[in-house]
Structure 1
Amino acid sequence: MAFPAGSSCSSPSVPAGLRSARASLRSAEAAYDGEASALRYQLKSVFADILNARETIKLSQGTLERRTENLELLRLKYQAGRENKAAMLETEAALKTAQWQHEKYKKNLLMLMRKFNRLLGLPARSLVPELELPRPPEPPEEFSSFSQRLASHYSLRAARAALAVSGASVETARGARLPEANASGSYAWSGSDWPAAPNRWSLGASLSLPLFSSGKLSSDLGAATAKLRGAEASLKNAQDEVYLNAEDSFLSWRQADSYMDVAKSSLDATGARAWLVRKQYLAGQSSYFEWRNVEEQLISEQNQYLSAGLGLTLAHAAFVRALGE
């Protein structure tokens, strides 16, 4: 009775394909994170616009009430012969303008809510809850405190993944040019007195060289190497672009935060002056034109303060997105 046994082996291939697949997975994850970051920024921006639009409508309602009171006051003064007709007509026109603007603000709010619902995949007519966004935190003095968070930016992760894929392609191209070695062996015996019984050994080895395809393989290696260099350059460019964009967004955030104090101080000063001039006008100590001008300035400062708050919220949201979050 014969009992054959054998084995064979060949040189292991470089696991470049596995590394390439893992890098492709990381690239897909980075792309997903990029889309999620963009969507979060868009949602926050639209919601901030909605909150600003609601505050604008409240402000506009107050302006309407004040314009109505002013018109009644001017009519009384005109009927008493203490004011001219031009002033009364101008005040009436200001009231009509405020009414038109109020309707425009309401339309803007409605369209923003429709847009917000579409982003969320909700019915367009769904009600947007009366929520508030917390005021953004005060920015630190230096941008360097965000360096670690910036290192995990989705653009950088995608560029690193592309570099890994290119590196795996180079390894694959190099491996294709190497000789392939194969070895095999077998052992057979017969009889019941193994291992003393007669037996046979058989050994074999082979070496294959890619002689006839060396030109194509060299070309493939050159192309893969060039692609690797391009991926290295792309990573460097991505690092510079991400850093500069984040730094610019950081400085814009700081600027918007500082401007909030400016807008608040200006609003307080204008409000105090408007109150004083109104009292003076009612007492006959100030002209209509001075009173009108300070009223217009107050409305402008109120709107400017709302815009400053919106600008701060959007600047912080843009910075968070610039960090890749």
Structure 2
Amino acid sequence: MRSGDRLISDRAGLLALPVLLCLSACAVGPDYVPPMQALPSQWNAASPTRRPPALSEWWRQFKDPALNRLVEEAVAGNLDVAQAKARIREARASRVQAIAPLFPQVDGSASVTRSRSASSGDSSFGNVTRNSFRAGFDTSWELDLFGARDRAIEAATYGADAAEDDLDGVLLTLVGDVASTVIEARGYQARIALARRTAATQRETEALTKVRFQAGAVSAADTARATAQVASTEAQIPALEIALSESLNRLAILIGRPPSAMANRLVGAGQVPATPTPPRAGVPADVLRSRPDVRRAERLLAQATARIGQAEAARYPAVSLTGNISTSALKLGDLAKNSAIGWSIGPSLSVPIFNGGELAAAVDVARAQRDQSDAALRLAVLTALQDVEDALVGLRQERLRLASLATAATASGEAARLSQTLYRSGGISFLDVLDAERSQYSAEDALIQSRIALATRFIALNKALGGGWLRPVEVSRPRVDDPQQGPRPRALTLEPVQP
């Protein structure tokens, strides 16, 4: 064979080597298989139904325009949501980083050297000054023989999916917190209004008692009791005002605003919105699809499984293909024509022989982390089932409690009115009136608190079933804008040193 033919054959062999190695590439480590989950066929606290729950924008069923606006504002401005969006961008960028090593890495280089050599003795050459110009490219490509890069991409892809599920979970929690806080604030407003109405009625009773005392019909003790009852009721108002203010401040933080932003929001006496009809619970298997925390835990398990293969692949030989080409000349214009051109290309092999068990330990670490993720997934499923069961039982029992409290409030109101009438005619003592008014206030306040609890349990059931913000959310736009990112003069800001 001629030398030229041999050279062509050697080059063809070098170029075909990466293709042959890629074709023979394999994967190590376990392949991810979603774990089987033992789930009950139906809920204990709900009637059997095969229809999945309808969870689309459930908060609108309260028919509270202020609540609807606040949910929209919270999704746009909440800082936990902003962090979750940034985590998605981070996960997507990490996936691009994982994909990049599959492609050859090419670097360019250039240099200029000016040198001077001085002659010695009687040399006729004298002192010589030379310029040297060099330019070239270096390339390297690590072949993914045992799937280390593929496993890294697989893990990064699962991580990006988990980040998106994390955002859904943050939105689910956010919508539930906004709705619960609005209901809570409405409840405090209603309780404040009740306390003021009750105090006004008790003031009338106090005035009547004073008139009867002046007429000699009652004792001074009755007058003191009437004054004490009014003061006790009015003392409830500041505490309720504090609780209302704290709810409004918490609501401001949820929408990403300072507390002062809620000064003129939710004004008025307010009423606790009527609780809508509870959603269908479906079957327990629906929770695995609708709960973001369960989906995220499953994606993290898949990611941990892929990382086992990534750690296992590091124990096998690595093959890289490297090459470079360069040109040098004494003049800049000669780099492209009258220059010396050199090149080299060839594979390199790296085999781990002894590392003190470090690589094997890395595999054990990855397996232990996979087991942690598996336990976390199973715990997330059990917690989700518990949340739904608790919410179903709580909602059903609170409805029964609310009905009983409504009956008690109605009866207490009627008893208070009859006591007032009988007291004016002298038919009963003031102690009877005092007891009737206390019972009325207590029953009506308990009724309001039950309405708050019922609405809160309705919210908890929707959250437990996975109902949240189902519309698309823009995640690609950074929250912090960096207008200047290219090269520019560096500006140093030095803080003064404090003595």
The two structures have a TM-score, normalised by structure 2, of: 0.54
Post-superposition offset of 1:106: 3.3
Shift in Å, 1:134: 4.1
Note the C-alpha offset of 1:128. 1.0
Q: Does residue 267 in structure 1 map to residue 402 in structure 2?
A: no
Distance 1:172 1:117, change over 3 A: closer
CA contact (8 A) 2:202 2:230 kept: yes
CA–CA distance in structure 1, aligned partners of residues 211 and 374 of structure 2:
78
Residue 240 (structure 2) aligns with? 105
Give the secondary-structure state (helix, strand or coil) at the position aligned to 1:319: helix
After TM superposition, give the deviation of residue 23 of structure 1 in Å: 1.0
Matching of residue 235 in structure 1 with residue 373 in structure 2: no
Choose the corresponding residue for 2:301, options 128, 142, 163: 163
Match of 1:136 in 2: 275
Structure 1 residue 154 and structure 2 residue 292: aligned?
Answer: yes
Q: How far apart are the structure 1 equivalents of 2:153 and 2:164?
A: 17
Describe the shift of the 1:238–1:47 C-alpha distance in structure 2 as closer, same or farther (beyond 3 A).
same
Change (3 A) 1:271 1:17: same
* Displacement after TM superposition at 1:155 (Å): 2.1
Q: Which runs of 5+ in 1 are unaligned?
A: 184-203
1:314 correspondence with 2:314: no
- Tell me, in whole angstroms, the C-alpha distance in 2 between the residues paired with 1:287 and 1:132: 35
| AA partner of residue 25 (structure 1) | A
1:25 aligns with 2:167: no
8 Å CA contact 2:284–2:385 kept in 1: the answer is no
User: 2:259 is paired with a residue of what secondary structure?
Assistant: coil
Q: What's the RMSD between the two structures over aligned residues? A: 3.1
2:104 aligned residue: none
Displacement after TM superposition at 1:293 (Å): 0.7
The letter of the residue matching 1:117 is A
Q: Contact 1:138–1:257 at 8 Å: present in 2 too?
A: no
Q: Which amino acid aligns with 2:200?
A: E
Deviation at 1:143, TM superposition (A): 4.9
Amino acid at match of 2:397: Q
For residues 28-87 of structure 1, the C-alpha deviation after alignment (integer angstroms, 9 at most, x for no partner) is 223333333333333222222211111112112211220111012112222222211111
Measure how far apart 1:149 and its partner are. Answer: 4.1
Residue 109 to residue 96, structure 1, CA distance change in 2 (3 Å): same
Greater fraction helix: 1
Gaps of 5+ in 2: 26-143, 322-345, 469-499
* Alignment pair present for 1:225 and 2:363: no
Deviation digits for residues 171-223 of structure 1, max 9, x if unmatched?
2234444567899xxxxxxxxxxxxxxxxxxxx99998655569544433333
Whether the aligned pair in 1 keeps the contact of 2:187 and 2:272 (CA below 8 Å) is no
Deviation at 1:124, TM superposition (A): 2.7
Answer yes or no: is the 8 Å Cα contact 1:150–1:243 preserved in 2.
no
2:281–2:465 Cα contact (<8 Å) kept: no
Instruction: Please state whether the residue corresponding to 1:276 is helix, strand or coil.
Output: helix
After TM superposition, the structure 1 = structure 2 runs for residues 62-141 of structure 1, keeping only pairs within 5 Å, are: 62-125=197-260, 126-130=263-267, 134-139=273-278
The alpha carbon displacement at 1:305 in A equals 0.5
Per the alignment, residue 258 of structure 1 pairs with 400
How many positions carry a matched residue from both structures? 303
- Check 1:224–1:146 CA distance in 2 against 1; reply closer, same or farther (3 A cut): closer
